[in-house]
Amino acid sequence: MKTFAITVSALALLSGILAQGSFGHAIVVMSTLFFIGVPLTLFLVLWLMIGMKRSGGIPSGWRKTSTITAMIGGGLILSFGTGSLIHHWEIRNVRQFVEATVPSLDEYYHKNDTYPSVLEELGISSVPKLLRESSGYSSTQNTFIFEYWDAAGMMDGYIFDSSTRKWTYFD
C-alpha cells in the first residue's frame, strides 16, 4: 500500500508539472472526480451500508478499496494543485519581468524616439516562457505591448499596454 501511495503521489506531481494548470488539465481532473469519483463514492457508501446491515460490520475489502479510491482522488487534487501553483508562478514571472523591463524600454525610447522592435535590442535574451510566442512583445514607434495567453482559460489572456501602463484582460 505504501508503494501504491508513493506511485500515485509521484504520478500526480509529474502530471501537475507537465500539464501546468492548463484548461485541459482542469477539465481532466474535474471530469475524473465528477464522473468517476462521485459514482465510486456512492458505490462505496452503498457497499458499506449493505455490508453493515448483513454482517453487522465493515465488509471485507471495503477498507482497501476505500483507501485506494481516496489515494487516487487525493492524487488528482495534488496534480491540479501542483499545476495551478506552477501556472500562477509563471504569471508572476511574466509580470515581474514586464515591471523590470518597462524602465529600460522607456530609456531606449528617450534615446531613440522609438521603441525597440525586439527585446534583444535591450540586451534581454531570457524572456519568460509565456512571452516567448510571437505576440509576447510587439511595438510601434510610440507604443509597445506585452501579451500572453492564459493557459488556464479558454482563449483569453492579458495585455500590458504602454499607453495605460496596466494589465488588461482580453477574451
Q: Please write the tens of the pLDDT for every residue from 96-115.
A: 999 999 999 999 999 999 99
Do 41 and 79 lie in a common domain? Answer: yes
Name the domain count of the chain.
Answer: 2
Residue 97 β-bridge partners: none
Question: Which candidate, 55, 51, 53, 79, places its Cα nearest to that of 65?
Answer: 51
Do 41 and 109 lie in a common domain? Answer: no
d(CA 113, CA 111): 6
Q: Residue 167: is it exposed, middle or buried by C-beta count within 10 angstroms (0-12/13-18/19+)?
A: middle
Do 59 and 98 lie in a common domain? Answer: no
In this prediction, residues 104-127 reach a mean pLDDT of: 90
Do 78 and 118 lie in a common domain? Answer: no
Q: What is the largest CA-CA distance in the chain?
A: 86
Do 138 and 113 lie in a common domain? Answer: yes
Among 29, 49, 84, the domain-final residue is 84
**How is residue 160 annotated by DSSP?**
E
- Residue 151: pLDDT band by 50, 70, 90 thresholds? confident
d(CA 97, CA 104): 11
Among 39, 68, 84, the domain-final residue is 84
Do 63 and 93 lie in a common domain? Answer: no
Average pLDDT for the chain? 89
Spatial contact of 150 and 170, defined as CB atoms under 8 Å apart:
no
Write the CA distances from 155 to 3, 94, 98, 165, integer angstroms. Answer: 40, 18, 22, 23
Segments forming the whole domain that contains residue 105: 89-170
The pTM of the full predicted model, rounded to 2 decimals, is 0.77
Render the burial of 54-88: b for 16+ CB within 10 Å, e for the rest: eeeeeeeeeeeebeebebbbebbebbbebbbebbe
Chain segment 38-74, per-residue pLDDT in tens: 999 999 999 999 988 888 888 888 989 999 999 999 9
Spatial contact of 152 and 81, defined as CB atoms under 8 Å apart:
no
Do 117 and 133 lie in a common domain? Answer: yes
